[in-house]
Amino acid sequence: MGTTIAIANQKGGVAKTTTCLNLGHALAERGQKVLLCDLDPQSSLTISLGFDVRELPSTIYDVLLDTNPRITIRDIIRPTKMNAVDVAPASIDLSKAELELFSEMNRERALKDALRPVLGAYDYILIDCPPSLGLLTTNALAASDSVLIPLQSDYLAMRGAELLLATIEKVRRKLNPKLALLGVLVTMYDARTNHSKDVLQEVRAAFGDRTFKSVIRYSVRAKESVISGQSLLDYDAKSPLAESYRTLADEILAYAKAA
């Protein structure tokens, strides 16, 4: 049985999608079979992988809402350009999902039920969550073994993490007792500023060994790779940023081995 990780933060622009994509590729480089699940109505992960969302016949929305009983998660999964990495894509239709799920029975576990048929087919399932703490993110947390929190190296972003931690605890109590905090990943770090350095120090003091040693620095290369439809590990394989995601993958694999 594989491991499912929700990559979550209610704040946008903290490198959730970048982390999902490049961590997935880094894990695949280390021999892991990976499924990336796009749960964001903005479909940034799907677009970053080079897909035209207008041409997709079905997406994660159709599976969550059971729009066609004959469509399962297996039917929507697409291979990517990266070896051993698949994606369950999203489209703008997902923006309707929270409202439509609200009246459904077992609405918080729709994603968990949807993913069940492929849990044994992948070593890791990484869920790219939307920038909110609504029903889609709750579904991701209910379906996951652990949560990875990308945290921008900004003081206000750190303050906002308290709300996410409270949500994680609530989901753990009511929906998913096994849910754990995998770790906090400091992103968009600028070593030239004292502010970034101070925030990194505060994060490590607050979260201790649940702070990843890997730090994701700010770089325009991340945006350039999205335009090219590639991961950073393909676009600029030897860059410090690509190496940071490989180091992050090593940390996660070491944690799994020790658990």
CB 242 within 8 A of CB 217: no
Q: How far is CA 124 from CA 12, 118, 158, 239, in A?
A: 24, 11, 27, 24
User: How confident is the model at residue 200, as a pLDDT?
Assistant: 84
Q: CA–CA separation, 139 vs 129, rounded Å? A: 9
Count Cβ neighbours within 10 Å for each residue of 174-195 and write b for 16 or more, e otherwise: ebbeebebbbbbbbbbeeeeee
Both structure tokens of 202 = 């505060």
Count Cβ neighbours within 10 Å for each residue of 50-72 and write b for 16 or more, e otherwise: ebebeebebbbbbbbbeeeeeeb
CB 52 within 8 A of CB 163: no
Both structure tokens of 240 = 């410090």
Domain that holds residue 247: 3-258
Burial of residue 257 (number of CB atoms within 10 Å: 0-12, 13-18, 19+)? exposed
Whether the CA torsion 215, 216, 218, 220 is positive or negative: it is: positive
User: How confident is the model at residue 228, as a pLDDT?
Assistant: 73
Nearest to 2 by CA among 92, 137, 123: 123
pLDDT in tens, the chain (259 residues): 789 999 999 888 888 999 999 999 999 999 999 999 999 999 999 999 999 999 999 999 999 998 888 999 999 999 999 999 999 999 999 999 888 988 887 899 999 999 999 999 999 999 999 998 899 999 999 999 999 999 987 777 777 788 889 999 999 999 999 999 999 999 988 777 888 888 888 888 888 899 999 999 887 777 778 777 788 888 888 888 999 999 999 999 998 888 7
Q: CA–CA separation, 50 vs 235, rounded Å? A: 13
Helix then strand count (H, E) for the chain reads: 12, 8
Q: Is 172 helix (H, G, I), strand (E, B) or coil?
A: helix
For residue 41, what is the domain's CATH number?
A: 3.40.50.300
What's the total number of domains in the chain? 1
Terminal Cα-to-Cα distance of the chain (whole angstroms): 15
